[in-house]
Amino acid sequence: MLRRIAVVGSVLLTLGAGTAMAQGGMPMGGQGGGRGQFMQRRVERLLQGITLTAAQQHQVDSIVSATSAQMPAFTPGQMPDSATRAHSRALMDSENAAIRALLTPDEQKIWDTNVQNQPMRRGMGGGGQ
């Protein structure tokens, strides 16, 4: 049940990004347009307090681009079906695990804290990787 709430929260955040994009709130462009920008901002929040090396940043950018390209499109105002929500959650979990694997043990501790403090996870018992 808690997992379902986390998935719905994730989808609502994604839908909100899509709605804002459709209303002109987010610029288009880049890989995945608004989705790519949403994914990039999400990862930036998870990397708060972590200073990546140039090599790490390049790898993170590649992971985010690849995930964004696989993320299903959402229609503003229309709730995605359960299979689409599950696919989106699996992609984000995979992205989290791939990025976490690039980090040093000290950086992983910060990452784990940031994952736990995500608004959609806080208070929902959500895990991370």
Residue 129 lies in a domain: no
Higher pLDDT, 4 or 93: 93
Higher pLDDT, 107 or 19: 107
Higher pLDDT, 18 or 64: 64
Residue 77 lies in a domain: yes
Residue 127 lies in a domain: no
How distant, in Å, are the alpha carbons of 6, 20, 26 from that of 63? 22, 24, 22
How distant, in Å, are the alpha carbons of 33, 35, 40, 105 from that of 68? 9, 6, 9, 26
Full-prediction pTM beyond 0.75?
no
Q: How many domains does the chain have?
A: 1
Structural domain span for residue 73: 2-116
Residue 125 lies in a domain: no
70-94 residue pLDDT tens: 988 878 888 889 999 899 899 999 9
Residue 61 lies in a domain: yes
